[in-house]
Amino acid sequence: MSTELQAELQTAVERRRNFAIISHPDAGKTTLTEKLLLYGGAIHQAGSVKARRAQRHATSDWMEMEQQRGISITSTVLQFAYHGCQINLLDTPGHQDFSEDTYRTLAAADNAVMLIDAAKGLEPQTRKLFEVCRMRGLPIFTFINKLDRPGREPLDLLDEIEQELGLQTYAVNWPIGMGDRFKGVYDRRSQQVHLFERSAHGQREAIDTAVDLGDPRIEQLLEQSLYYQFKDDLELIEGLGPELDLDLVHRGKMTPVFFGSAMTNFGVELFLDAFLDYALKPGPHASSKGEIQPTYPEFSGFVFKLQANMDPKHRDRIAFVRVCSGRFEKDMTVSHARSGKTVRLSRPQKLFAQDREVIEEAYPGDVIGLNNPGVFAIGDTIYVGSKLEYEGIPCFSPEIFAYLKNPNPSKFKQFRKGVSELQEEGAVQIMYSADEAKRDPILAAVGQLQFEVVQFRMQNEYGVETQLELLPYSVARWVDGGWDALQKVGRLFNTVTAKDAWNRPVLLFRNEWNMNQVQADHPELQLNAIAPVV
């Protein structure tokens, strides 16, 4: 390999940090994202991402569904520069657009930021996304948000993370006051107290006065009661648990914790600075050829997300690829591992807050959007040089289920083709009842939006108007040991058995309670919320 390319790749990797935010709706993900962009200099006034989105809706000709729902189902990857680094923030769709893509995005992320509302603590969606991060061993950085409002005690929040997630915590900073009296944070890295002042509506960077711990001014700058409280807290945190261990952080066993308020920008910059220092850089990925280092000279990557739900006039389809090794160049010709075909990657795109821009090159840790002529499916590997294939992306427990029905027998063939193609592509999980008499495919999704996309595409791309019949299940579990293991336990109550696309048994339950009951009755049954990759 040319030493020039080697050096170029090395530099690119050193400079890159890639992460996704995991949170429950309303914790402040949009607000924090915007503030990160503000500090990254990518926007000059917070509020513009939302404003731009509103404008786009007014003028755009994206597909009706997107407009009808008034939400954006277009995913984004935000790239911005900060202190000489390239930061890639992968969007994890939430709210109504929560779908399997939200989980899959974590397959493309090197780090996760767990965003928590200080008043609420851990919430269901955060826990689920955390489980996926844990499975992947991702480093997790915790940002406890909304300190400008009354919330739970910091110690209580740390305790919850430790007890419920089994994750050691290390508070990198500590809040001084809370709610109306949230004055700033103590940064343990620099041993400085940062006192913040709000800028107008938090649209610009907060005014930050940093004072060394030994500086007598601290006493004057803080109200007396806050000062004494701070002294007490200081003693307490210094006595708290183990020291920061980056090795544990990188293995996803310890989380550095930050307190702040995204709305007023308090603590956002300190968080970003520490994140740059502590986060994992793009690393190796396991493949059929062994571990592939990002500095491996040939380009390779995998598809983690497909988007086919745009303007029908353009039939725009995009495959999002995480670059794993080498340098990606525009108009490059690559091999597609699954089909063995050769594909020319023209018009690669980088997405910034919904605006597309054609990119010339990309490096490990980056995400590129490729026009998808229908060859790509979730988990596919593309590469240059000798063949390699990355591990696929697993299936995640769906939470809503429905029979997909074709009321028009003359459309039988199109229906079957559509179902099989959408399933293969990974738009939705398709299961069938183990009861042979029930022949309709069961759509199994993580969010309602996936159903809508399937129905929309069945009509638009295959000309079949389908009907949905919702099923009363909300939990699916794959059985370790497959059909044999299932047969051994005998008859099960409060569950029905389905089979997935690989003919593996999946148990469907009405709710968690029923699942726990079955599990308690049959402790030998090993149930998994995440299906192994086939």
List interacting residues with ligand GDP (CB under 6 A): 23, 25-31, 94, 145-146, 148-149, 261-263
How big is the CA angle at 103 (ends 32 and 51), to the nearest 5 degrees? 35
Cβ at position 150, least distance to ligand GDP in Å: 10
Cβ at position 261, least distance to ligand GDP in Å: 4
Residue 184 among known ligand-binding residues? no
Residue 24 among known ligand-binding residues? yes
16-22 and 328-329 strand pairing: unpaired
Cα 77 to Cα 367: distance, rounded to the nearest angstrom: 7
Cβ at position 70, least distance to ligand GDP in Å: 14
- DSSP-derived 3-state class of residue 429: strand
The encoded tokens of residue 28 equal: 């402040």
Q: For residues 182 and 390, which CB has a smaller minimum distance to ligand GDP in the complex? A: 182
Q: For residues 31 and 406, which CB has a smaller minimum distance to ligand GDP in the complex? A: 31
Amino acid at 34: E
Distances (CA, A) of 430 to 440, 451, 473: 10, 11, 15
- The strand pairing partners of 202, in sequence order, are none
Residue 413 among known ligand-binding residues? no
Q: For residues 89 and 393, which CB has a smaller minimum distance to ligand GDP in the complex? A: 89
Cβ at position 206, least distance to ligand GDP in Å: 11
The encoded tokens of residue 314 equal: 């353009």
254-259 and 168-171 strand pairing: parallel
Burial class (CB within 10 angstroms; exposed 0-12, middle 13-18, buried 19+) of 247: exposed
Q: For residues 148 and 269, which CB has a smaller minimum distance to ligand GDP in the complex? A: 148
- DSSP-derived 3-state class of residue 409: helix
Residue 30 among known ligand-binding residues? yes
Cβ at position 352, least distance to ligand GDP in Å: 18
- DSSP-derived 3-state class of residue 199: coil
Residue 32 among known ligand-binding residues? no
Residue 25 among known ligand-binding residues? yes
Residue 28 among known ligand-binding residues? yes
Residue 74 among known ligand-binding residues? no
Q: For residues 262 and 377, which CB has a smaller minimum distance to ligand GDP in the complex? A: 262
Q: For residues 66 and 117, which CB has a smaller minimum distance to ligand GDP in the complex? A: 117
Distances (CA, A) of 450 to 13, 298, 443, 455, 473: 35, 35, 9, 9, 16
The encoded tokens of residue 391 equal: 């591990």
Cβ at position 115, least distance to ligand GDP in Å: 7
Cβ at position 87, least distance to ligand GDP in Å: 18
Q: For residues 32 and 404, which CB has a smaller minimum distance to ligand GDP in the complex? A: 32
Cβ at position 329, least distance to ligand GDP in Å: 35
Q: How many CA atoms lie within 13 A of 138 on its CB side?
A: 29
Decide if 480 contacts 528 (C-beta within 8 A): yes
Residue 449 among known ligand-binding residues? no
Q: For residues 145 and 325, which CB has a smaller minimum distance to ligand GDP in the complex? A: 145
Residues 6+ apart with CB under 8 A from 217: 211
Distance of CA 324 to the CA centre of its chain: 17
Residue 23 among known ligand-binding residues? yes
How big is the CA angle at 425 (ends 424 and 427), to the nearest 5 degrees? 110
**Which residues participate in the annotated binding site for GTP?**
23-30, 91-95, 145-148
**Which residues participate in the annotated binding site?**
23-30, 91-95, 145-148
